Structure 1
Amino acid sequence: MNIQKQLITLLFITVSSIALAQETKNQIQADFTNYLNSIVNMELEKSLDYMPTEFFDIIPKAKMLEVMKQTFNNPDMEIDIKNPTILKIDDAQKIENKYYSLLTYSSQMDMKINGEEHETEEDKKLRISMTKTAFQQSFGAENVVYNDTTGFFEIQSQKDVYGISDNGKTGWKFLVLEKNQKVILEKLLPAQLIQDL
């Protein structure tokens, strides 16, 4: 009888742990979806609410907002982000006084670089070729397609992101893992999380 009670207790703890982990993943998914939607809908100031406050000790919030506005409102280019999809969410782990969960998402970014007003056909071909090469180096050749009809580059992107929470349940903030920003990431993440970057 004692063994049966122990097995029931163990089963209850296991089921409870799985349920809590799933509840946490659901909250991460909800918060990250809100973050992505704020970017897709160009609610740039709202999107900053989903970034760790420590990030703004490195790059002030007003400066970050200005850079985002300049990027998305640049008259020389058009950007449209489509179909953001969360591919996986890892279980949250506590490191020091915060919780971290690695997630992966994909999206399509359509981008058009507008040419000069009096651009020749030869200059246009060169601009498109150079831009395509740059995008292929950043995203991989298989993920970049140029649409001759629309003039847009269609870029498939997959990125890793760390969700960060103080309590491991709510208030998830997100930090996209960009290799060219390793110096910033080293200031915001525990060393064991960025060693593979």
Structure 2
Amino acid sequence: MKIKSLLFLFVLFSFVTFAQTKVSPEETNIKKSLIYFTNSIKTKNIDQAVSCIYPKLFTVIPKDQMTQLLNITYNNPFMKIDMQDFKFGSIEKPELIKGEYFSITNYSFKLKCNVSSMNDDMKKKINSALMNKYGKDNVKYLANEGAYLINANMKACAVSKDRKYWKFVILEKEFKRDLVKVLPKKILDKI
């Protein structure tokens, strides 16, 4: 009888554990789309990355301006950027709002920014900008390499009409007032 009870508890525990780790198709599709987006940036295929951005964002920042901004950031000969160690955090269950699904997605990666070819004044400006954006505890200067190592904890809103193909808006508090024109209030309240 004792063995049957233990066996029953083991099977029950296995079912509970499996049920908790089951990933929804939406979560799988969000992950796939976000990996495609970040890999496009990592490989410096900026036009491909821009195609992953939620089109309504271009009502606030024109598409050509967004492309130019990403090119200046990731294809800058004076500051070589390398993305490493991409990890997913939590992905919220998608919510249907006015015919579109919205899901807040957390993720992180390490950025290595080589600034060795910049002059001291530019290095100081970059240092200040990185500290403000990512926080002092997340930015480390590697003097021997002339590079910054940044722990970037990010948040994005994934948006889809069909829950298969997702587009993204990077969520940052400093741009919340601009995102009012792009995202529903219910989603903005989560930033």
TM-score bucket (shorter structure): 0.7 to 0.9
1:150-189 aligned at under 5 Å gives the runs 150-167=145-162, 169-189=163-183
The Cα of 1:110 is off from its aligned counterpart by 0.9
Return the offset for 1:81: 1.3
**Secondary structure in 2 aligned to 1:59?**
coil
Unaligned segments of structure 2, at least 5 residues? 1-19
2:49 corresponds to: 47
> What are the superposed Cα offsets for residues 110-138 of structure 1, whole Å, 9 maximum, x if unpaired?
1123333xxxxxxx4x7655543432222
**How many residues were matched structurally?**
171
- For 2:130 and 2:59, the matched residues in 1 are separated by 30
What's 1:141 paired with? 136
Give TM-score, length-normalised by structure 2. Answer: 0.80
Quote the sequence identity (%). Answer: 24
Q: Does the Cα contact within 8 Å between 1:88 and 1:105 map onto a contact in 2?
A: yes
Which amino acid in the other structure matches residue 76 of structure 1? F
Q: Contact 1:21 / 1:91 at 8 angstroms: preserved in 2?
A: no
Counterparts of 1:43 and 1:70, CA distance in 2: 13
RMSD: 2.2
Structure 1 alignment gaps of length 5 or more: 1-17, 117-123
5 Å matches for 1:53-68?
Answer: 53-68=55-70
Hey, what's the Cα distance between the residues in 1 that align with 2:125 and 2:53?
A: 33
Indicate which of 187, 191, 195 corresponds to 2:189.
195
Change (3 A) 1:187 1:95: same
Task: Select 1:115's aligned residue among 96, 113, 118.
Answer: 118
The SS at the match of 2:80 is strand
